[in-house]
Amino acid sequence: MGRIIILKVGSTLPSLVSKKGDFEDWILSGMGFDKDGQRVIDVQKGAVLPAYEEISGIVITGSHDNVTEHHEWSERLAGWLPGAVERRIPVLGICYGHQLLAYALGGKVGDNPAGWEFGTVDAHLTSAARGDALLGRLETPIKVHVTHTQTVLRLPEKARRLAYSEKDGNQAFVVGDCTWGVQFHPEYDAEVVKEYICQYRKMLLRQGQDPDGLIARSVDTFYGAEILRRFVAIVNGTPRPRVAQTRSWEG
């Protein structure tokens, strides 16, 4: 079985940490792993990045920081990631990890011109996702959880867009056949996304958004865990069972 490492680049809300754990806990749970025995590297706190030969898969967590702040730890990780991609080590970047991966490979990140995107939203899969190992064979749209203010404004040159939502044109992308970024949080559940909406209620109201409506539309979904377990299967070379397509694909 391959060794998957979690590159921790931030923590969730303190109110959630005390009740439910942190980003890495939810990711590992979604992948079907116990935290004990798994390798979590806290990049934000200056931990040394591993040798590429030591790892078989990489997941980059979310963060409350912004890629455009160009923190030293973030720039260091951005300089390390292309080496993993060149070696075809499977990579999954989540939210901040998605944006950092795009930036590291030549894309552009900035404030989302459509405004903040919070809640449970429809991510529409593109035709490029049809045969994709991570997102292929899923119905479209898929229900996903989002809490982000910045976005990938321009994908890396060799990236293929896999998904988009009403407020974000680049919800998911792939480079090659084993490097993915997803703007959404496959590790979240409805309780997590509702807590984020509550915590940021005043800022969402200033943007003209309806926090109560966002909370009402926040629901649990199985897609996140399916995607995380598919990533594990990719690392281990064991394909997941097929999931029937029930809706048409978009261009």
- The helix or strand, by DSSP H or E, that contains position 122, with its residue range, turns out to be strand 117-125
What is the helix (H) or strand (E) element at residue 142, kind and residue range?
strand 142-148
In whole angstroms, give the CA distance from residue 203 to residue 3. Answer: 40
Catalytic residue among 24, 95, 124, 226: 95
Cis (ω within 30 of 0) for the bond into 50?
Answer: no
Is 71 a known active-site residue? no
DSSP string covering 12-44, please? --HHHHHHH--HHHHHHHHHT--STT-EEEEGG
Which one of 24, 117, 187, 195 is the catalytic residue? 187
For residue 157, indicate whether it is catalytic: no
Question: Of the residues 98, 185, 195, 226, which is catalytic?
Answer: 185
Q: Does the annotation count 185 as an active-site position?
A: yes
Q: Could you report how far apart the first and last alpha carbons of the chain are, in Å? A: 36
- Positions annotated as catalytic residues are 95, 185, 187
